[in-house]
């Protein structure tokens, strides 16, 4: 099932508009070609089904074979997918297919770097809501392809009480009561609350019904101390200022989750291109 | 006028779904607040109207004042916009508004760096179709905010004959005829053709009706030579492998346009956040 | 924020089509009226904002005052809302507004009956996915208005492994491994698993990572025994064959949740009508 | 042709959202199954094509065979349809398919009860506009499946002047003129006018151009008297307070139509479920 | 209420796309202007609300005053509407507003010519389904503005059995049975049947349940004869080959309706333009 | 790729609504037929793919064979396309398919008349933005089919500075600066400026960056003089008051383009109909 509006359709409408003038006037209508999408750097691949979907939306008769599936690690000059069909159809779809594939592979690649840098199987590297408007589901799947895990999908499937929410309700006062009321109406969903200091962590630990405490911008020593305060079922998430350099130290604190906005909001596109390998007559 | 589907609506639907549970259960319904969006690094701002639109779509009664308009250069800790309204409405809109603003300001900031690095008023730094699916119009406006220019918007408003098109029609053979036919049917649109070698440039210069020649992945010396071959009205665009280090040298060749995919596909988000400045009772 | 497509717009399009012929030809264009929506039986009201939204979508100048808010218990002949505006606008909106209000109040009323019949504050009466296609969010809000709680909203915000899922993967074999894998990718969501026998309950209690066990179609004595087997954090839900007569007995078992499809799929509409109270000239 | 928005797509989007987590993580991707939808009570079936459409929208490769077509009377434990395909696809579609089928069969079943209770072939049992928002076309087809007839589809395909319309134009004054004007502009559509008393019936019979008189909430004796006043082409509809007990007496008056809101707004869902009959490996 | 998709929105999206480049770059942003839409030939006006809606969709702050309402007869050089607002907004909306207004006024003007040429108050000049795809509701309103009447809106609100339908069911055989069945299921809608010969008229007059007979391409003498065969309630419609020259003769036969496809499918646009009357500074 | 909303879908929804009652009740469900669309006058055909698309959207199993492709000249009584399939499907699609085909062929036919009347291969007959709302892309393709060329598609793909734009910025003052700014931001698009007098032509020829001058409502002698003033690359377009009688004289002036609004806004529909040629049993 697709989200609505479908990002593939949106992207094609935006790019094609009233028609692909270059293909229409400069490529013979019945010419058939084979092509491959090839990497020009090492990468973790993601978005292959979306890219394949672009080719097939433009022309259902185009045949796409995915060589490197989502999550695969490929080296520079290796092939990601092979495509065969009418030349016009491939050329019309090329840029949009690559736009998805390059961006999503960029996210998967950066996620994998953080997972590897954490050097610790127990901690989970998770994403945030800092995703590209309109592409959240695709980008969260790219995080999975990179070995990460997904935090909540949006405002609807989990509660995350942040500092601004607490300010707006005059701090922790009344938080316990609000949690009780939420548990009563929506018993199936998790509740996470942000803490900026160890004192706040101590206060939150007094309150029933919290599943996760978010430790925002704390140093490794503080994180360690916060975790030591916790009881059996409380989980801890660390966030803020994560880099490939400091993540190993954070991961070593024993924290359950490390959330990193950069894996979706600042990943660099992977260098991929489509090459024609066989041009019919 | 808005594009269809409207990226603001798409992004809000994706994030809010069946409702913002945290605001609904953890923020008093009538609490009013003031907030500001503040920068944590130097940046060129873009996307302010889109961010303002997000707040107003969530709640038309929210008042937004844009302090730093699109194209403004701001320093770390300066304010981009001020917002006042119902706390729940601001908190529901916060993340989506920031997602647009951080991403678009990232594009404007990187564009400005390339424009400054080119160090040459005559050359135009232009974008490509390597934009985020669904956000092309917004990203192209961010390029303008950063001091760049826009290449074609899509496949529909200009012809750009690339190597893959030429391969698919057996090289330059028949190109002249196709150009003539296009001129006959769509006389109002520009035609650009890619050349990978100086020999190709020479061949293209024999053909009537080409407005711009795209010099793909050529070295500065080659670009200079190509331009020297041109006549009065021919324009030249350089593309491929542009960096903040090499762009000055390319710009110095006298080329008319330099196109850079990275300004849209690999810009890093700017670090911005929303802070509550006044919490009512 | 509204879901997409907006049920109000869908319902009005379906009813009005090319126009309300009767109002257009049989009601003077500028006649203003006052009206009230009145109950003809005792009820718990729900859907008032949706009904008000119908009047305002047809004509933004219509003024609606909600007298009995969602969750209010009203008696026969009491007023639910008052409406004032152009006669044509009220008459065009009347049926669709009532269709929402009567159906949603029917759900709230039946939910309240089950909550009262359970006679036990500790147990939560929850809904199911057996809602009217297109109206899930509205119907789940009506359940809340009636004093019930919401189970998952859909297939996306919680895992519920039912007998058909277990059959399709050859029973409980591999269930533990699937739960581990899900926990790794989506750590923030709950997992519930159905058990049809006490033997299954025992097996499920051996597996890590289950939040709730669904006891399907068990008798009160079995439910009691199942709960006795559970440990600290395990929650239990009873489902299947709940009636206003047997629910007290089920509730007395100490089960955490009782889910009832009938409160959404088989509620009878509440008898409400719109009466003109003041007809201008 | 489908209405827009398509109720099948709306219902699937609402239920599936970002994906069916349970099927995705707990059911092997290639497992194939056979299933049947079976009744747990006697019923008249309706909505089979819609239910089949749900399965096929989720996965076009799913094969559905309808055993009991719309309008068929089936007994408890009989099969309504058989489905074969990928297990994940069937399980994702199951609930939405059943939600349509159970609700629409409930309408057909209740309609048939009223038709049978009327015990009179000449009278037509017709529906009203009291349908579920978004499902009118499907529910009106279910009424046909149950042996009933359809009143107007909406405000656009017939005129029905009710008491509120008459109040808003100061009673019957000017009604004749409005009818004349409507006949002039839209000669192809029927006009029905409500009467609450025999005196009103007499007045309406003086006016040219009325096709049907709606006798609202009249007792059988009054209905008989009203019909006796009528001339050759005038048709009469009775409405208000119809039950399975009193409908025979109403039908015996010789009235042409009896309209019953309850057949769409208060039908109980039929108890149906999907059972896996063959689980592949 | 608007049809979906709204023709105003469709037309603006199609014309504006990514933006009105000319207004954006060549008109100062805050310049305010007054303008009027003026006729360059005599005409019956239609579509004024749609044209006003175009201006207000582009910019809700634009003020439009309609001088000549739908149905008004204006002379060359008279003003249809006055508009005041931001220059950019008026210039962006101008062409689309005129496209609607010129076309719809063309239809109203041609309709009026036929109504006047008929020279007979008793006959009704009616439209057909030969309307512009996407504009049916607007064009049918223009027919009303011109003094005509509306035939059915589409395939859904009336039955019209034409020669192709009769061929497909082997002529009139079974027609009576089909009419009976339709009357049973949809008692509120009219039935019209086409006759090409007087013999067919005679056959149709034997069948119960027909409201109108369509006399296709008959000469005045034949039409007269057909009408003479009819009984009390049968209505007759003449169609085929109507011109401003022959319509008086057809109308004089006593036929009830004359349908003319040309009033919607071949009306010439009325010459209207927008003139700036006051250009601010 | 289709524009959004798709005109075929819009037209079918508008015509079919809740269903084609006549086909459903008056045509046997399994009857298969063959039909042909035949011309009743000489014409240039356009819109064949759209008409074929209508048949296939209603029923994907309908087989359509296009006999006269877009651009073909056919004589009265010749066949445009042949269709075979289920009778109900053909009859439901018939009117909408013809509405497209008759209108678009009307445009192609009128365009061809102007092209032939111009009697001059060098000049290009071009369309305007005076197209039917919602059908621009189809109508511009019909102009191509008739031998014409396309002017800009909308406000987004070319600049055309008209008298109203110049008035709003106080005449030609500042025009040069605005052109320079546009060239800087959107270097790939053409700029055309309207001139109403020879004096204005002279002024425009002083300004850099104009590609085309639009000579509005000038007489042939003036047009000749304007062209004589031009230099190497300047193109000239004549517009205003073109008829089949005066176009030859305009074309003979040596102007590059002649734009004619009437070819889209006032073309008469071509008389075509669908005839059943073989009715199965």
pLDDT digits (tens, 9 = 90+) for B128-186: 999 999 999 999 999 999 999 999 999 999 999 998 888 777 667 789 999 999 999 99
A49 an active-site residue? no
Q: Do C16 and E4 touch (CB under 8 A)?
A: no
What is the least distance, in Å, from the CA of E236 to any CA of chain F?
A: 19
Q: Which residue has the tokens 């007045």?
A: D203
> What is the Cα Rg of chain E in Å?
23
Mean pLDDT of chain D, nearest integer: 93
Question: What mean pLDDT is predicted for residues D82-107?
Answer: 97
B31-47 residues labelled b (16+ CB within 10 A) or e (exposed): bbbbbbbbbeeebbbbb
E162 an active-site residue? yes
> Using 50, 70 and 90 to split pLDDT, how confident is the model at C1?
very low
The model's pTM is 0.90
Q: How far apart are CA D146 and CA D115, in angstroms?
A: 8
C2 an active-site residue? no
* The pLDDT value given to residue E163: 87
Q: How far apart are CA E243 and CA F55, in angstroms?
A: 31
ipTM of the complex: 0.94
Q: Which residue of D lies nearest to C261 if distances are taken between CA atoms?
A: D269
E237 an active-site residue? no
pLDDT per residue as tens digits for the range D230-249 = 876 799 999 999 999 999 99
Q: How far apart are CA E264 and CA F99, in angstroms?
A: 11
Q: Which two tokens stand for residue F80?
A: 């445009």
Tell whether A3 lies on the interface with D, counting CB pairs under 8 A.
Answer: yes
> Using 50, 70 and 90 to split pLDDT, how confident is the model at D51?
very high
> Using 50, 70 and 90 to split pLDDT, how confident is the model at B40?
very high
Q: How far apart are CA A136 and CA A114, in angstroms?
A: 20
Question: What mean pLDDT is predicted for residues E102-114?
Answer: 98
* The pLDDT value given to residue A30: 87
Is the peptide bond preceding residue A5 cis, with omega within 30 degrees of 0? yes
Q: How far apart are CA D174 and CA D163, in angstroms?
A: 14
Tell whether D184 lies on the interface with A, counting CB pairs under 8 A.
Answer: no
Which chains reach chain F with 3 or more Cβ–Cβ distances below 8 angstroms?
A, B, D, E
- List chain C residues with CB under 8 Å of A185: 144, 149-150
Q: How far apart are CA F81 and CA F2, in angstroms?
A: 22
Check if the beta carbon of residue B153 is closer than 8 Å to that of residue F156.
yes
Tell whether A22 lies on the interface with F, counting CB pairs under 8 A.
Answer: no
- Check pLDDT > 70 for residue F3: no
What is the least distance, in Å, from the CA of A146 to any CA of chain C?
A: 11
* The pLDDT value given to residue C281: 58
Q: How far apart are CA F154 and CA E20, in angstroms?
A: 8
Tell whether B155 lies on the interface with E, counting CB pairs under 8 A.
Answer: no
Surface-to-core class of residue D82, CB atoms within 10 Å of its CB (0-12 exposed, 13-18 middle, 19+ buried): middle
Tell whether D153 lies on the interface with E, counting CB pairs under 8 A.
Answer: yes
Interface contacts B/E by beta carbons within 8 Å? 12
Q: Which two tokens stand for residue F23?
A: 């086909």
Q: Which of E129, E130, E224, E235 is catalytic?
A: E130
- Check pLDDT > 60 for residue F64: yes
Tell whether A13 lies on the interface with F, counting CB pairs under 8 A.
Answer: yes
pLDDT per residue as tens digits for the range D23-32 = 999 999 889 9
Check if the beta carbon of residue B243 is closer than 8 Å to that of residue B222.
no
Rounded alpha-carbon distances, angstroms, from residue B18 to A150, A193, B21, C140, C251: 19, 21, 9, 10, 30
What is the least distance, in Å, from the CA of A228 to any CA of chain F?
A: 57
Q: Do A149 and C187 touch (CB under 8 A)?
A: yes
Nearest to C153 among B13, B18, B92 (CB): B18
Check if the beta carbon of residue E168 is closer than 8 Å to that of residue F87.
yes
pLDDT per residue as tens digits for the range C77-91 = 999 999 999 999 999
B157: CB partners within 8 A, 6+ apart: A17, B189, F156, F157, F188, F189
Neighbours of C5 (CB within 10 A): 21
| F-proximal residues of D, 216-245, CB under 8 Å | none
What is the least distance, in Å, from the CA of B111 to any CA of chain F?
A: 13
Residue E125 β-bridge partners: E258
pLDDT per residue as tens digits for the range A55-92 = 999 999 999 999 999 999 999 999 999 999 999 999 99
Q: Which residue of A lies nearest to D55 if distances are taken between CA atoms?
A: A1
- List chain F residues with CB under 8 Å of B152: 188
> Using 50, 70 and 90 to split pLDDT, how confident is the model at B3?
very low
Angle between helices D87-118 and D136-145 (to 10 degrees): 60
Q: Which residue of D lies nearest to E123 if distances are taken between CA atoms?
A: D184
Question: What mean pLDDT is predicted for residues C35-56?
Answer: 97
pLDDT per residue as tens digits for the range E9-32 = 999 999 998 899 999 999 998 899
Q: Do A12 and F1 touch (CB under 8 A)?
A: yes
C94 an active-site residue? no
> Distance from CA of residue D54 to its chain's centroid?
20
Nearest to E13 among B4, B137, B153 (CB): B4
Nearest to A187 among C184, C187, C257 (CB): C257
Question: What mean pLDDT is predicted for residues D41-51?
Answer: 98
Q: Which of F34, F49, F57, F95 is catalytic?
A: F95
Question: Best residue in B133, B161, B241 to probe A by mutation, most A CBs within 10 Å?
Answer: B133
Tell whether E144 lies on the interface with C, counting CB pairs under 8 A.
Answer: no
* The pLDDT value given to residue A163: 87
- Check pLDDT > 90 for residue F232: no
pLDDT per residue as tens digits for the range B226-241 = 999 987 679 999 999 9
Q: Do A10 and B91 touch (CB under 8 A)?
A: no
Q: Which of F49, F130, F219, F224 is catalytic?
A: F130
Tell whether F12 lies on the interface with D, counting CB pairs under 8 A.
Answer: yes
3-state class (DSSP) for residue E37: strand
DSSP string, chain F: ---SS-HHHHHHHHHHTT--HHHHHHS-TT-EEEEEEEESS-EE---HHHHHHHHHHH-TT-EEEESS-TT-EE-TT-EEEEEEEEHHHHHHHHHHHHHHHHHHHHHHHHHHHHHHHH--SSSEEE--S---TT-HHHHHHHHHHTT-B---SSTTS-EEE-HHHHHHTTTTTTHHHHHHHHHHH-TTB-EEEEESSHHHHHHHHTSTT--EEEEES--HHHHHHHHHH--TT-EEEEESS--TTTHHHHHTTT-SEEE-THHHHSPPPP-EEEEEEEE--
Tell whether F31 lies on the interface with E, counting CB pairs under 8 A.
Answer: yes
Q: How far apart are CA F198 and CA F185, in angstroms?
A: 30
What is the least distance, in Å, from the CA of C86 to any CA of chain D?
A: 10
Which chains reach chain C with 3 or more Cβ–Cβ distances below 8 angstroms?
A, B, D, E
Q: Which residue has the tokens 């099969």?
A: D79
Q: Which residue of C lies nearest to B60 if distances are taken between CA atoms?
A: C1
Q: Which residue of B lies nearest to C154 if distances are taken between CA atoms?
A: B18
- List chain F residues with CB under 8 Å of A19: 1, 137
Half-sphere exposure of D106 (CA within 13 A, CB side): 24
Q: Which two tokens stand for residue F63?
A: 């087989």
């Amino acid at each position: 099932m697709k989200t609505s509006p479908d990002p593939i359709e949106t992207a094609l409408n935006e790019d094609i508009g009233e028609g692909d003038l270059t293909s229409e006037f400069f490529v013979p209508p019945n010419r058939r070609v084979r092509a491959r999408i090839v990497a020009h750097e090492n990468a973790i691949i993601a978005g292959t089904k979306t890219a394949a979907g672009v080719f097939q939306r433009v022309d259902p008769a185009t045949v796409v074979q995915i060589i490197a599936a989502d999550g695969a690690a490929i080296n520079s000059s290796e092939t990601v997918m092979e495509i065969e069909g009418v030349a016009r159809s491939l050329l019309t779809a090329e840029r949009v297919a690559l736009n998805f594939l390059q961006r999503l592979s960029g996210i998967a690649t950066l996620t994998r770097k953080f997972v590897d840098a954490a050097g610790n199987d127990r901690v989970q590297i998770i994403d945030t809501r800092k995703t590209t408007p309109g592409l959240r589901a695709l980008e969260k799947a790219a995080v999975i392809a990179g070995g990460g895990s997904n935090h909540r999908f949006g405002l609807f499937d989990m509660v995350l009480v942040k500092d601004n929410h607490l300010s707006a309700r005059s701090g922790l006062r009344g938080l316990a009561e609000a949690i009780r009321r939420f548990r009563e109406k929506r018993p199936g969903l998790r509740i996470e609350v942000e803490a900026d200091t160890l004192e706040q962590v101590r206060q939150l630990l007094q309150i029933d019904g919290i599943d996760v405490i978010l430790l925002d911008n704390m140093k490794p020593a503080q994180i360690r101390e916060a975790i030591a305060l916790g009881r059996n079922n409380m989980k801890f998430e660390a966030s803020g200022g994560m880099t490939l350099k400091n993540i190993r130290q954070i991961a070593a604190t024993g924290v359950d989750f490390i959330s990193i906005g950069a894996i979706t909001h600042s990943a660099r596109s992977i260098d991929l291109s489509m090459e024609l390998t066989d041009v019919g007559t």
